[in-house]
Amino acid sequence: MNKQVSLTRANKKLRVGGKLSRRLKKAYLGNKLNKSKLKKLLKSVSFIKYKYPDSPTILPYEFCPECGCQQTRMTNYHVEYPEIWVEWFCARCGYQVAQADNSPYVHVLEELFCDKPYLERG
Ligand SMILES: [Zn+2]
């Protein structure tokens, strides 16, 4: 089976709230990080802050602090303009990883490590 095709299918399925088959899930999400790897990953998090836009870049990448997964599922609540209410959930464990609630996009890693000094830039 072509991997690209199955990933597109996985994405579509998740978007409509469907469950993935075991094989598809593995292809889409990859292997789950073990605890020590996740700890290391959490420790390595740093931010690049810009003057504009407000949301900093998260290094090494954005991931779920519960399981280390990078895939997300987005829920847009389609509230009336000019309101914004969008939430992103981990595609593996369902943990809420980000939100934009009448605010710029905020990733949970920013909240977890809000006392970490920014690597300034821009
Ligand atoms: Zn997760």
Q: pLDDT tens digits for 99-116?
A: 999 988 999 999 999 877
| 113 and 61 within one domain | yes
Report d(CA 117, CA 105) in Å as an integer: 19
| 99 and 67 within one domain | yes
CA of 86 to the centre of ligand 1 (A): 18
Q: pLDDT tens digits for 36-53?
A: 999 999 999 999 888 776
| 90 and 40 within one domain | yes
**What total number of domains does the chain contain?**
2
Most confident of 27-41, 53-67, 84-98: 84-98
Q: Is the peptide bond before 104 cis (omega within 30 degrees of 0)?
A: no
| 92 and 81 within one domain | yes
**pTM of the predicted model, to two decimals?**
0.81
Q: Residue 46 corresponds to which amino acid?
A: S
Report d(CA 60, CA 37) in Å as an integer: 14
Range of the domain at 18: 1-30
Report d(CA 95, CA 29) in Å as an integer: 14
Nearest-10 Cα torsion for 89, 91, 12, 10 = 180
CA of 122 to the centre of ligand 1 (A): 31
| 110 and 85 within one domain | yes
CA of 80 to the centre of ligand 1 (A): 30
| 43 and 10 within one domain | no
| 102 and 44 within one domain | yes
| 39 and 16 within one domain | no
Give Cβ neighbours of residue 118 (< 8 Å, ≥ 6 apart). Answer: 47, 48, 49, 56
| 36 and 26 within one domain | no
